[in-house]
Structures are given as structure tokens and as C-alpha cells.
Amino acid sequence: MCLNAVPSPPAHPHTSLPCYKVLTFLLFSFIFSFCLFASLRQFRTPKPEDYNSYPSTERSQAGSTRMLPKSERRLTILLWTWPFGHRFNFSNCSELFDTPNCHFTTNRSWSQKADAVIMHHRDVYWDTNSLAQLPRPPSQRWIWFNMESPSHSPNLGAMDHLFNLTMSYRRDSDIFAPYGELQLLSQPQPFSIPPKTKMVAWVVSNWRPSSHRVKYYEELKKHIPVDVYGRHHLPLSMDMLHQTVSQYNFYLAFENSQHKDYITEKLWRNALSSGTVPVVLGPPRENYEHFLPPDSFIHVDDFASAGELAQYLQELSRDTERYQRYFQWRRWLKPVLGIGWAMQVCRACHFLQRTEASYHVVPDLSKWFV
């Protein structure tokens, strides 16, 4: 509404506008500016902290998209074969890794619908031509799964350009699946060393006289008594393993082959979980120290010969104070086994739920996995 205290002469129609038209123009301009500002805000440069809050999307059967937090992303993972033919019960991944909404199946009718397919190397290496011909959705990830060393992984060259994710004991795998790991305790805890009455134990099932570990054992036993358990040796049931090994001062955690990061249950389950000091033969000491404190194990490479190692073990067994130093780390750390097929497939789901999709292929798997 316009109010004039003094009447004014009439304005020329081409030099002025009625007041209601001016108000209409201003109102329209305000609305247009507000909408433009709101639209431009959607295309602002995101701040670093925004990347942590971006939700994932889920497409419904109707084709619409709704937003979901990553932790709610439902995944279906096809296990192509039971590893080595061993059936197992799939676990609730929420209990193992706080990873809900993981659905596993071995039904190959899901091969075109599953988010990922896990293929165990030792069960598919002989039929890679058929695998290469399988139809495969562009967004589906194929996971090469292997817990064996390169020495026991045939036909690796046929795996090149076939998979886009790796899962193994190697620390540089896409999905790291160790045989064991150390868990940090919430507060220091006392550790009681089991009573020791014997010297050295070794549990071995795959006995090959020509192998490096058997040859080393043959030299070692010339200088120190070693009790060998397993096939063709002293009998030992699995339920008596820890009780038996815990009586020994030392345990020979000898790997069947020497490769990067190949540190198996021989160390984690047989030695550390039994409360004895492992004597390791495998990758170099520096590699073991990526997994363990340096004063928690004895490496054969630290000695010029098996005879020198035997002499050190005998001296250490007689020196209680020095021997106990190999257990000081147990106050803060606890060895935890990482084996179990159900746990490993849950690792895969945990990785997929927390990692943005990346559909690269592994071009030189045979050169990497050595």
C-alpha cells in the first residue's frame, strides 16, 4: 500500500509503474533467488568430514533408490565350492565382526545375482578355462581365496586377469585373512607359564624326508632330544594337543615352505596357545616381527647351525629368568586364532560392506603371490 502526504502530478505512463506491480516484481525476484540459492547448495564442494557420512544406496525391485548406511547394506555372497570339500555352518557375522546383513549360499543359481563369488584356489585351479567362460555381471566381484603357500598352489598362472579381489594370509591381500593375530588386552594381565617337564616338541603330519624342515630336524636331534608327534610318530589326539605341548619348553613351529607372511597355525595354535616358546622356521625374522614381538620367539636363522641352536635352547631351559622373558609380552597381548572357514568368509563380507566398489582385475596374480 502506497501513502502520499501531498498529491503529486500524474506520472507519465512510460516513466512509472503502479505500486502493486513493483511489489509483485520484488516478490517474484525474492522467490527466484531463494530457489536458485537452494539448488546451488546441492553442488557445493563437500567438506572432508562429509565423506564419512555419505550413505550407500539400495535399489528396490521396483527400480527406486533409497539411502542406507553402509552397515545396513545387504550382501549375498556365493561360495563356489566347499573348501577342500569340507562343509561348515555359516556364522552370524554380526557376532564375529559386527557385520550384519551377510547372506551366504553355495547355490550356484545365484551366480548372476550374488554381489560377490568366493572361489577357493585348490578347488578351481584345474578348471580355469570353464571359469573364464562364465557370464559375469560387471559389478560382481570375484574373490580369489587361498590359505596355502605358493609352493602348494598349482596353476597360479591361469589365475591372471580372472579375479578382481584377493583374500589370503598375505598382508597385502585385498582381504587379509591371517592364521592368527595378537589381541591387545584392555589392561595388563598376569600370565602363568605352564609347568615344564620336557625339552622340545614337534607335531607334524606331512612328513617329507627331503624337505628343509625335516633335514633341519635331523640335524637338531643330534644335539638335543625332540619328541615328534603325528602320523608315523608318537600318537596325539587333537583334544590333547595343548595339554601335551604345554609341558615342553620349546615347540618347533616349522612351516612346510618358506614364503612371505606364511605363518600358520603351527605357531598360533600349537605353540603360542599352548604356552610354550616357538622355535620358528619359515620366512625371515623381520617378517615374523610384523606379527609378533621380537622377544616372543626364537628363529633358526639367528644361529649358524642346528648345533648352536640346540646349545642355546639347553642354556635357556636352565636359566629361569631368561626363559621367562619370552613371556613378558603376554601381559598386554593375547594370541587369537584366525582360522575357520566361517570366520574367513565373514571377513570377506566385512570388507565388502566397508569398501567402495572397485572392479579392477588382478593382472599378475602369479607374479604377486610368490
In angstroms, how far apart are the furthest CA atoms of the chain? 126
Q: What are phi and psi of 234, to 5 degrees?
A: -60, 135
Collapsed DSSP state (helix, strand, coil) of residue 273: helix
Collapsed DSSP state (helix, strand, coil) of residue 26: helix
Tell me, what amino acid is at 269? R
Q: Which of 49, 58, 95, 148 is catalytic?
A: 148
CA-to-CA distance for 266 and 216, rounded, in angstroms? 16
Cell 597381548, located at residue: 333
CA-to-CA distance for 298 and 311, rounded, in angstroms? 13
Instruction: Evaluate whether 346 touches 97 at the Cβ level (below 8 Å).
Output: yes
For 263, counting Cβ atoms within 10 Å of its Cβ (0-12 exposed, 13-18 middle, 19+ buried), the class is buried
DSSP state letter for 197: -
CA-to-CA distance for 120 and 61, rounded, in angstroms? 31
Sign of CA dihedral 339, 340, 345, 346: negative
Q: Is 148 a catalytic residue?
A: yes
Residue 277 burial (CB count, 10 A) = 23
3-state SS of the chain: helix, strand, coil percent to 5? Answer: 35, 20, 45
CA-to-CA distance for 297 and 272, rounded, in angstroms? 9
CA-to-CA distance for 105 and 114, rounded, in angstroms? 9
Catalytic residue numbers read 148
